[in-house]
Amino acid sequence: MVWQMDRAITKAFEGRRWDVPAHVYAQPLELYEGRQLGIGELEAALVQLGYRKRAKADAPGTYARSRAAIELMSRPFRFWDEAQPALDAFVRFDNDRIASLQNAARRVSVPILRLDPLLVGSLFPGVVEDRLVTAPDEVPELLRVSLLVVEDRRFFDHFGIDIRGIARAAWVNIKTGQLRQGGSTLTQQLVKSYFLSNTRSLRRKFTEAIMAVLLERRYGKDELLNAYINEIYLGQDGARALHGFALASRYHFGRPLGELDISQVALLVAMVKGPGFYDPRRHPGRALERRNLVLAQLAQAGEISAETAAAEKKKGLGLASKPVRGASYYPAFMALVRNQLATDFDKADLAQAGLQVFTSLDPLAQLRAERALSEGIARLEKTVPPGLEGALVVTSVNGAEVLAAVGGRDPAFDGFNRVQNARRPIGSLIKPFVYLAGIESGRYHLASPVEDAPVSLPQESGEDWAPQNYDKQFEGMMPLVRALAESRNLPAVRLGMATGVERVVSVLNKFGLDKNVSPFPSVLLGAVEMTPFEVAQLYNTFANNGSKTPLNTVRFVLDEQSQPLNRYALKLSQVSNPADVVQINAGLLTAMRRGTGKSARSRLPVGLEVAGKTGTTDDLRDSWFAGFSGDRLAVVWVGRDDNAPAGLSGAAGALTIWADLFARLPNKSLALDIGGSLRATWINYQSGLESDPDCGDTVPVPVPQEISLVAERGCEPGNGRGIGERALEWLKGKIG
């Protein structure tokens, strides 16, 4: 029996001592001169990372703020490409931009500074035990001393069990008639946590004592103490068991173990006796009393002065404003990470191998997306009955990385993730693909005439399908760019039927829709169910001029020794002629200037050019918007989980949330690459005839070089009237 115990101990301690789940990090915030970032946003990011505000930034994880500058000292961190030491920096702001970035002491320019990334959470498939393993040189000396004073003063003298301590505890318990003290050593507590269950029995206590002695025979005291610091159970976060002081420090205080003050270290040590009973959030009074007892014991042992103990007792518990739960803060994004990693790693590796996963999550973009969705839904519910839900996903255009994902109006709710699971009809979001199919056929361009007139198509059921425009009106002939910008249903159906529904479905598939779609005519008006994530994939291909890149959430994966295991490089494939896609993007720009997206102009920064498309389904059940700038793309869905009518069109609902978000995100304007096989020209918005830009109602469009357009009579290019002449005519009309 003893031999078996010894073998089990040796096997566990000589191999991987703990099953450490993969830890997931957001992308680090990079500071550099000229970056669009406000001083308030940087301070919010520092607070989120657990940086402490002081009069002077004199230690890693601290910062000081003045009116227009922040001085900070970053934490040392091992990134995927290099180990970065702690750096002191002085960041000066001009409005909402970084004006300069300098070394705080020498006042020399620093090209770029990466802050330590936010720990998003942990991955433990099938396992609910989490920890952050701490090396001996990362453990504060005060923690070691406090554990010995409070839990095992004879730790360095006994051989695993403390006969004197057991006798003392027995005497106290007999004298008081209560179970006031226990005689377990730190080594016994380590054995109990590491190898045994919580079952109370003489057999279990005997086994615990034998294993403690065996551990002490094979391993040194310092090694055992560090193992205890990493292993001991310190509470519960829902289904997740919190093990080790490092994770407990992150969870309760939002900062690394080495940055805690005396009272915070004392609180963690106080919790060892009963993590649930002394939980500082559920039982703050008990926790405070127990912490103060630990401080008194430290003073009595001479480890801190009586004056220091008295001052520390006056402090509050010092907890973070809310527990740093990691994964449950960003459940929608974490679900996407799990999906991606599942294709490359075994579940066991994700749960046990201590992997470090660096992701594309942008905490600032995530925060803005969460606020835009929750505030937007609350605003919309002032006009429609309550019960709205929503989803939002933000990506980078060129990198095709997911920057933010919000699965509902309560972004921290770890339940139904609407970003990747809410499949709803996409309505008019389909129309750009319908028109692209027409342009790819070679028979259409943005100035081509399409008819807005009634359509009736026989169905297999024997009934006719007779779709309607949203406004129930018919406008007759119009150029394709107007039909797209104003999201007219009937021109889209006519063009789609002329081109072929199969061709439209083919465009969807090559742009990234990984599902079979039956080529029924109703597809032309969006009778295709997709998730917001799938829509983002399709529109990202539009934003990249027909170059498809699978959306990505993971950048790098390192093993437990911080060595690279996997790097997720871009995978590009050109699936459509860029010139054809540019024409559609020009139509989506027009939609934002004067079509269904024009209401967003009042919310967006002046001069920001964006492209986008609204989507509305039957009976106003689903409100969609997908749009992009030169470097950001976002998809918003608003509706009800029970599929009841939301009462909102795409423009009245999702567009308002998208516009509020893009007003908060750093963006650069969308610039179309018109050249090569295309030429830019002006056409009359009503007729589609080529026109001088200063003559009549005109819009700029790209058309193929070989296309010869008929000119508007009296408005031939070069024959336009000046702005003054047009203004005078307008005034005459107003006067009558």
**Tokens standing for 41?**
């946003």
Specify whether the CB–CB gap between 645 and 619 falls below 8 A.
yes
DSSP 567-593: E-----EE-S-HHHHHHHHHHHHHHHH
Burial track 483-499 (b if 16+ CB lie within 10 A, e otherwise): bbbbbbbbbbbbbbeeb
**pTM for the complete prediction?**
0.84
Element holding 340 (H helix, E strand): helix 331-342
Q: What is the pLDDT of residue 570?
A: 74
C-alpha separations of 331 from 323, 415, 620, 654 in Å? 15, 8, 28, 21
DSSP conformation class of 618:
G
C-alpha separations of 667 from 225, 360, 374 in Å? 51, 17, 22
Q: Spell out the residues 6+ positions from residue 106 whose beta carbon is closer than 8 angstroms to its own.
A: none
Go through the domains of the chain in sequence order and give each one's CATH number.
Answer: 35-116 (3.30.2060.10), 128-313 (1.10.3810.10), 678-735 (no CATH)
d(CA 668, CA 662): 10
Closest CA to 497 of 425, 426, 443, 438: 438
Q: What is the pLDDT of residue 200?
A: 57
Q: What is the pLDDT of residue 165?
A: 56
Q: What is the pLDDT of residue 195?
A: 64
Burial track 200-218 (b if 16+ CB lie within 10 A, e otherwise): eeeeebebbbbbbbbbbee
Burial track 52-76 (b if 16+ CB lie within 10 A, e otherwise): beeeebeebbbbbbeeeebbbbbbe
Q: Annotated active-site positions, please?
A: 151, 428
Indicate the length of the chain as a whole number.
Answer: 736
Under-50 pLDDT residues of the chain = 169-174, 176-181, 722-736
Q: What is the pLDDT of residue 452?
A: 95
Q: Would strands 62-65 and 52-53 be described as parallel, antiparallel, or unpaired?
A: parallel
Closest CA to 90 of 76, 102, 82: 102
